[in-house]
Amino acid sequence: MLRYILQRLILIPILLIIFSIMVFALVQAPPGDFLTSYIATLASTGSSLNQETIVMLEHQFGLDQPVHIQYIRWMQNLLRGDLGLSLEYQLPNAELIGDRLGLTLVLALFAFVFTWAMAIPIGIYSATHRNTILDYLVTVVNYTGVAIPNFMLALILMWFAYSQFGLSITGLFSRDFEQAPWSIAKVIDLLKHIWLPMIVIGLAGTARLTRVMRANLLDELNKPYMVSGRARGLSEWQLVMKYPVRLSINPLVSTIGWYLPELFSGSLIVATVMNLQNIGPLLLRSLINQDMYLAGAILMIYCFLAIIGTLISDILLVWLDPRIRMEKV
């Protein structure tokens, strides 16, 4: 078990290097660079930069170097723990991301817990009460949930709240708390606002997870160990909770891996629409402006999360399923 985890840990830096090359290539892929889009932005407002300033800026940002040199410089900084400077904000990327990381994590965690806390019980109910009216209702809601893009849902809810109740439900804080330092009142204010983005971000995942849980459980409910358990005198509830639920959650655990980064990146459009101060809008803006070091840093965090997520779900699986545990040790 320990050896297995160690093996996986050793793989992480190798994977990160591969991902860093891919991330850098992708960020570099669009034609032009930060300066060309900066110049274009300036031009659209009628102002311009003179040639000298452009050359100076190019040199300052290292944009005059060949691509591989740029990559190596970026990597050197990364290895020193320096995420670089945002070209647009002229601030350290670490600071920009750090400001938003906490809120991103909180929101993602809320959405994640919401998803699992809703999906597992509903999936169990749906499978054990197959083809009842409530099961059909759940199925319809699920398909709707999967089909509606979450930014659309966000817009509808925002419009509904505003037109019906005159409530503005964007953002994670009230106006008074937005710039305030952290306090208990601010946390309460956050909790008052976070439920809606949580639902919007978590809903599609909930719907999908419910379907998977239902399907897995339906498979398990027909297994011979169910007959064996009933014949031993177990009540239906004891039986279902101990055996089939346990067995149908196992495959779900393996999805945590890709679910974690998806909660971060998946909230990108929603976060922009709902004006949430998390990493999503920051990434979107950095990509539009070709703020390559900022975009690169954020994408590297996503990659890191994906690796960690996979590791967590693998460890959970090994811990949960003796069949895998015995094989690996």
Partner 1 sequence: MVTQVHPLIKPTNDLANEPLLKVEDLKAYFFMDEGIVRAVDGVSFDVMPGKVVGIVGESGCGKSVTMKAILQILESGAKIVNGKVTLRSRVHHGDPNSAEELIELTHLHPNSRQMRRIRGAEIALIPQEPMAAFSPVHTVGNQIMETILLHQDVSKKEARQIAVDVFRAVGISMPEQRIDSYSWQLSGGLRQRAIIAMALSCNPRLLIADEPTTAIDVTTQAQILKLLRKLQEERQTSIIFITHDLGVIAQMADEVVVMYLGMVMEKGSAMKIFKDAQHPYTQALLRSIPSVQSHSRVKLPTIAGSIAHPFNRPKGCPFHPRCTHFMRGVCDAAQPHLVEVDEDHFVNCFLYSEADGAKLMDKIETAPPVEKSL
Q: Which is nearer to partner 1, 26 or 320 (CB)?
A: 320
Query: Please, what's the b/e burial string for 129-156 (b: 16 or more CB within 10 A of its CB; e: otherwise)?
Result: eeeeeebeebbeebeebeebebbebbee
Q: 311: buried, middle or exposed (CB in 10 Å: 19+, 13-18, 0-12)?
A: middle
**CA 112 to CA 109: how far, in whole Å?**
5
List of residues 6+ apart from 266 with CB closer than 8 A: 150, 201, 205
> Contact with partner 1 (CB under 8 A): which of 234, 256, 269, 308?
234
Q: Contact between 59 and partner 1 (CB under 8 A)? A: no
Question: Total residues at the site for partner 1 (CB under 8 A)?
Answer: 22
Q: 170: buried, middle or exposed (CB in 10 Å: 19+, 13-18, 0-12)?
A: middle
Q: Contact between 132 and partner 1 (CB under 8 A)? A: no
> Contact with partner 1 (CB under 8 A): which of 223, 275, 288, 319?
223
> Contact with partner 1 (CB under 8 A): which of 71, 212, 321, 328?
321
CB of 172 vs partner 1, minimal distance in Å? 40
**Backbone φ, ψ for residue 65 (5° rounding):** -85, 155
Q: Contact between 315 and partner 1 (CB under 8 A)? A: no
> What separation in angstroms does the CA of 290 have from each of 12, 63, 70, 178?
28, 12, 15, 28
Only one of the segments 31-39, 89-97, 271-279, 317-325 lies at the binding site for partner 1 (rule: CB under 8 A); that segment is 317-325
Only one of the segments 92-100, 210-218, 219-227, 298-306 lies at the binding site for partner 1 (rule: CB under 8 A); that segment is 219-227
Contact criterion met (CB below 8 Å) for 77 and 84: yes
Quick one: DSSP state of residue 182? P
CB of 259 vs partner 1, minimal distance in Å? 22
Compose the 235-264 pattern: x for residues touching partner 1 by CB under 8 A, - for all others. xx-----xx--xx--x--------------
**CA 220 to CA 226: how far, in whole Å?**
8
Q: Which of 76, 62, 70, 63 is nearest to 24 (CA)?
A: 70
**Token digits of residue 51:** 């040639």
CB of 222 vs partner 1, minimal distance in Å? 9
Only one of the segments 8-16, 72-80, 234-242, 298-306 lies at the binding site for partner 1 (rule: CB under 8 A); that segment is 234-242
Q: Which is nearer to partner 1, 59 or 230 (CB)?
A: 230
CB of 232 vs partner 1, minimal distance in Å? 4
Q: Contact between 219 and partner 1 (CB under 8 A)? A: no
Long-range residue pairs from 8-14, CB within 8 A, at least 24 positions apart, any chain: 8/311, 8/314, 9/311, 12/307, 12/311
Q: Which is nearer to partner 1, 58 or 321 (CB)?
A: 321
Q: Which is nearer to partner 1, 59 or 242 (CB)?
A: 242
Q: Which of 95, 100, 92, 96 is nearest to 278 (CA)?
A: 100
Q: Contact between 101 and partner 1 (CB under 8 A)? A: no
Q: Return residues touching partner 1 (CB under 8 A).
A: 223-225, 227-228, 230-236, 242-243, 246-247, 250, 320-323, 326
